[in-house]
Structure 1
């Protein structure tokens, strides 16, 4: 009797399938295991994780490592995702400072335009002059209101107020006339004095209209057409705010630095093509498809996209100990996205959503790194280790153990870093493709578009449904249904958008409404998973026409996602394709397809 272990090294997880054989056939499956992949897929850093996964499977079977006869590995191709900014690294703002932090309770309402002065300077202002009063910390709201009313009585045209403390409503309620009051400006000392400025506060439940409009700002400050172009980032950053302040500063106060996105050159079997990143994801992907299969991708020197691609090559060269010149990018997936960029000139940490193109790049490495992993395992464990086959081909073998399946059959293996597709015909011919972009890219898009700067939190948003805590005793789920609780919920989740994770509630530390978070999550999944499903199946279809595929089985970790499988199934239904999650060996669900295929290939060689 021979005991064989199939080991699938993925971007996110490492999976093991353990089985016993006699000289002619499989006797039975013994156990399976799954652990988080150690290091980047396809590097020697994977070895500790492989050993842990093997030990876990052997423990379930009551076996020891010394009883294992052979370990079979997949050919793991590393995939790295990164962002190539479409616009700039720093938002351009010329001759402007802005405050757009949107306090929860501004006071008053309307638009005020005037010269910025300290409260203490009001005594020296002549009647009829338009001013915006700046009130530092330490001044009582009643004292501030009395001073403002006295100035108005003397004929000074107080147009609005900027306050450091949380006193906007208290001050506004005590003034003789209604003017806009913005508070909670923490960097009040940095507000330029003696400068033309504008303050705007909208009615409750509404948003500002003048300072979020480039032409509105141009009207207020009498800007030229060229100057109006330069204030677009200010207006964009203030869209959706209930209050805002814009101050015109002396020329040269704010410096701007730009780095262009640049263009990429795609080298393919059908020729090469240049495409500007500014053209967007759709044009980039059309170029990739036109010249595919891709042999390499390079970026314009000195640009954002060049830096991103060279960083990917450098990382993989260091990890695999292969020459940098041999690092070839065999596929890219481009997705349009938005990235919050810090606004230069802001006084309250303002951000503007800038257009960006997210790129997931797959580096083609030689068989050498996988052989290094095999050699290291042999050295550590003293066992025979074989590099058994291409991931997608092994996944086909595993998928065929799903009850109700037969040849011809296509699979979509949606993992953390890549999407693999393969099809097996009735006469055992196998066609496969390995494309960049999967679960990790979705997480990256969620992280960037929501401005979270927290990869683990973004991963949870991707994997679990959302809810809004509307009281201490009930929540509203993202599908609109309400759930009530007998005992009160933790105070820290009250009125927050939360992730429903394994019976727990994880609050999301942003002000984004539930609908926005859900929309970002679903759109990220569609742009990555649905796009890659369609392009990968089109590549493996024998005729090149996706409509000639009848059955598709979804496997891999991302197929477990609570909505991805439905999205892909819905998209493929338009082509008359029967699609659903796999159930490997009738017990594993969509997991373990590659590991199971590696075991099954023991007698028959590579698929």
Structure 2
């Protein structure tokens, strides 16, 4: 009995085959630790032993390929300094602002006991003053005749203060009190959630309110651009200009000189030299996705670039697991072929797949394997999970379910709205924590997602994320192959091939009219009574998974 062992970036798969190529058992488990690490190889050996034990067979040898690790990480790249002259945006898009309106006035520290000032005033509340005291002092100032047009609060207490004021005022929290108090004037505006700012983005209205001349038009335009998508803001006039940022900006060099990491997709392929701020390192390939760009159409991205990065080890860093496996299993192990060759061999056991272009979608890499060549690029299932997690600001475990397919908004215990606007009745009453929430489908039912997006908005974000990760990866790999390979039907294998939207995603980067389908690995070769994973396959095959493992086992 031969065991084909595929130690992937996210999942490890094993297939046990008899001498005639028949599948006796197949199973998979999450990869422990980084691919190629001692812990990943140890866990893989345990999976082989466990699968053989369940199938009650003896493994004679293990076939494996050299391992090429992929590392997925997130790095925040500070936005380049935007010169706004005497203006400075102190706060934009506070999620707990209170009230509504626009005003421009002189900052008035809430603890000031001096004689009342002339003209409009903006009350500044530092974090050291609690909401009860702040509200009481503001009410007394208004009663005494101070012309209060708004309140800037340092702590997260805008709603608590606003609800205690006798006069309705715009209140914005998260405003640095020291900067606000030092300004000559403060312009602030609060609009209802989801509504666009009207005054602080209007150059003429701001110039009139702040007494600025025509020479400030460029600064006003820069301020307006930075507030796109916000429904509240506080802008200070008269503070010292912000010095240019000295933060390190990560860069990558593909041999033509360093470029900003945010422009990584403009490079022409690896190997690369990458510097994230800890010194240059060599990598075989990389993929970088800017989460803010994925969210840009919703106008909800950060002004900084939040890059989710996948880096593929170079050929010189391949890991040979043979010695470790032999020691752990007390069985011969050997390198038999590359992962790409094994993936193609396993995938082409799908009926009717002869001559197809095989695309193996893995956890860390996308392999595009043709008849005459193959290309491997970084960026696959793990990168997509990380992008979704960053976009939703949720743990990766929840992002795994959120990324897979359509979501719905639960409107009531029995009713939900789907992504196309259809209202449906639920099979069973929804949990109280899901009502009024956007929900994905998890293993035990609906799982609420912590976002205010509508189902249609989330569908757009999710599909843009898939295009930015999987679509770009396939396009990059295809570009490295001869043009003749791109005209073939496409067969998908690997875990992400199960994604409900993957066929539509890849259709956008493949030549128009290209037939696309999922693999049926080892079709007709799965022995009766074979011990398989719970979702091990369909129609007498191993399904779209296990292509590499089966290809290794039969090599």
State the TM-score, normalizing by the size of structure 1. 0.75
Structure 1 residues 138 and 594: CA distance shift in structure 2, 3 A: closer
Specify which of 102, 114, 117 is matched with residue 108 of structure 2. 117
Specify which of 511, 515, 518 is matched with residue 578 of structure 1. 515
Structure 1 CA distance for aligned equivalents of residues 42 and 219 of structure 2: 53
Specify which of 211, 227, 230 is matched with residue 241 of structure 1. 230
2:266 matches 1:283: yes
Which aligned pairs between 1:63-462 and structure 2 lie closer than 5 A? 63=57, 67-82=58-73, 87-88=78-79, 96=88, 98-100=90-92, 102-103=94-95, 106-107=98-99, 109-118=100-109, 121=112, 124-126=115-117, 128-134=118-124, 137=130, 139=132, 147=140, 149-152=142-145, 156-162=146-152, 164=157, 166-167=159-160, 170=163, 174-175=166-167, 180-182=169-171, 185=173, 192-193=180-181, 195=183, 196-203=185-192, 206-212=195-201, 220-221=209-210, 238-248=227-237, 250-251=239-240, 257-259=245-247, 261=249, 264-267=252-255, 273-274=256-257, 276-277=259-260, 280-284=263-267, 287-288=268-269, 294=270, 296-299=271-274, 305=275, 307=277, 310=280, 313=281, 328-338=282-292, 352-355=302-305, 359-366=309-316, 369-370=319-320, 373-406=321-354, 408-424=355-371, 430-450=372-392, 452=393, 454-462=395-403
The residue number in structure 1 matching 2:36 is: 42
The residue number in structure 1 matching 2:416 is: 475
The residue number in structure 2 matching 1:17 is: 15
- Shift in Å, 1:60: 3.2
Structure 1 residues 222 and 34: CA distance shift in structure 2, 3 A: farther
Higher helix share: 1
Unaligned segments of structure 1, at least 5 residues? 268-272, 289-293, 300-304, 314-327, 341-349, 425-429, 602-607
Verify the 8 A CA contact 1:83 1:308 in the aligned structure 2: no
Question: What is the aligned-residue RMSD (CA, Å)?
Answer: 3.7
**Helix, strand or coil at the partner of 1:166:** helix
Structure 1 CA distance for aligned equivalents of residues 203 and 389 of structure 2: 28
Verify the 8 A CA contact 1:198 1:245 in the aligned structure 2: yes
Structure 2 CA distance for aligned equivalents of residues 598 and 114 of structure 1: 73
Structure 2 CA distance for aligned equivalents of residues 351 and 553 of structure 1: 35
Specify which of 412, 417, 430 is matched with residue 489 of structure 1. 430
Q: Name the count of aligned residue pairs.
A: 525
Structure 2 CA distance for aligned equivalents of residues 191 and 368 of structure 1: 53
The residue number in structure 1 matching 2:535 is: none
Verify the 8 A CA contact 1:87 1:278 in the aligned structure 2: no
State the TM-score, normalizing by the size of structure 2. 0.81
- Shift in Å, 1:249: 6.9
